[in-house]
A and B are shown apart, each in its own frame.
Chain A
Amino acid sequence: EAGVAQSPRYKIIEKRQSVAFWCNPISGHATLYWYQQILGQGPKLLIQFQNNGVVDDSQLPKDRFSAERLKGVDSTLKIQPAKLEDSAVYLCASSLDHYERPEQYFGPGTRLTVT
């Protein structure tokens, strides 16, 4: 079974530039999550989708971050414009169903450096 795929693996941008990350979850997984992991901390949930609908985006900085999951499969997370404090690893995870089978499986992450 293929795992969660993410690209790119690394990205370096200057502040005020924009960046986009892509995630393809495990086939058949209804729930998709984006996390931000700052160095020395645990992952923090940014947004959660159930199929193609947003379930929770309460911790997403909506003035600069956006995410979509068209067709209920893969997803993109965008930052525009980026700030220095956005430097982090962005993790995508998926679960079969958040309410019935909530164990989450993570992708390799995208390491973002904002200079």
Chain B
Amino acid sequence: AQSVSQHNHHVILSEAASLELGCNYSYGGTVNLFWYVQYPGQHLQLLLKYFSGDPLVKGIKGFEAEFIKSKFSFNLRKPSVQWSDTAEYFCAALSYNTDKLIFGTGTRLQVFP
């Protein structure tokens, strides 16, 4: 079955540390890739997306992600996290084959001041 894997379930960082959250998808063919963020008490918000073109995409709040087709990966990065980045992060993939948006299980990020 097609799936999205997020290997980091819970990440704890201090402010100013660098962040990288892993995401791998199992689809072949054309995919659209997304990162969503859910801040405490808020709804899911789109952080960034990749459809085609430059594999390095920039999103809101200083986040970026790199699409590496050969590795089926779309890792999320931020060079210096802030306490306000504490949230749950979900990777999602939309395959042209299945036509469904499939989510990973999420990574809970805690940033301590």
Contact = CB atoms under 8 A, between A and B. Distances in A.
A42 B104 contact: yes
B49 A103 contact: yes
Interface size on B, as a range, is 20 to 34
Interface in B36-68: 36, 42-46, 49
B90 interface: yes
B14 interface: no
Contacts of B46: 103-105
Interface string B64-108: 000000000000000000000000001010100001111111100
A44 B94 CA distance: 13
Interface in A1-55: 3-4, 33, 40-45, 48
B4 interface: yes
Interface in A34-91: 40-45, 48, 56, 91
Contact of B90 (A42, A103, A109): A42
Return the 10 tightest CB-CB contacts between A and B, nearest first: A42-B103, A106-B44, A108-B43, A43-B103, A106-B43, A42-B105, A45-B100, A42-B104, A42-B90, A103-B49
Given A93-B44, A102-B94, A104-B101, 5 more contacts: A42-B92, A91-B44, A102-B32, A106-B44, A108-B43
